[in-house]
Chain A
């Protein structure tokens, strides 16, 4: 009991934590930094492996949809897989299908890696139509047109 009283008297106000000691704090920060770096490199390796797997899994010759930017129309044709070294990051490759539009002779491209940057999904009329087909199903209550499609919601008064 006496020792407890002594320890209580030693600290006025908030008792300092072990983590607040500068030496311990440094150790914790160093450990956190190491842990973050390990996670960062592990995720980087994982992304690279996924990218490589995507390239390996894609077919060599495929009949796929393209969009011609010059004629502004969709067309379907055969294309061969092309893999190139990524100049902006030499540890990885980029892959795509490329084909020529027969009407105008301009090249069209479909991405295998970096699919989010594939302009086909923004430009293609078929994709827009497909998106519009299910537009009503994914309409949210806060979006314009919800009341028109599903009717005005009846608000109940809560007493």
Chain B
């Protein structure tokens, strides 16, 4: 699947705790294979889902599309959905 970086809105008030450390990345799914559905455990992944995936996976590839930095992520590298 193709994933883009989630831009966090800068807002005033309380700072929320992120479920994230330096081992993982957070990204938003923008493209998925159309021929077959993708499941993470029992949940079906959909476009626009925010996922947490392994940062240093050798199967993750960074690509440049229309000036945007995107990442190809393997399903086995996806750890969770938010």
Contact = CB atoms under 8 A, between A and B. Distances in A.
> At the interface, is chain A mostly helix, strand, loop or mixed?
strand
B33 interface: no
B77 to A, nearest CB: 11
The secondary structure that dominates the B interface is: loop
B58 interface: yes
A82 B23 CA distance: 18
Most buried by A among B23, B26, B27, B56: B56
A51 interface: no
Contacts of B57: 109
Nearest to B23: A117
Interface in B12-57: 20-27, 55-57
Interface string A45-83: 000000000000000000000000000000000000010
A83 to B, nearest CB: 10
Interface residues of A, number: 16
Contacts of A106: 58-59
Interface in A100-118: 106-109, 111, 114, 117
B22 A89 contact: yes
B69 A96 contact: no
Given A87-B25, A87-B27, A88-B25, A98 B20 contact: no
A88 B22 contact: yes
A87 B56 contact: no
A114 B23 CA distance: 10
Interface of B: 5, 20-27, 55-59, 62, 69
Interface of A: 82, 84-85, 87-89, 94, 96, 98, 106-109, 111, 114, 117
12 contacts: A87-B27, A88-B20, A88-B21, A89-B22, A96-B56, A106-B58, A107-B59, A108-B58, A109-B56, A114-B22, A114-B56, A117-B23
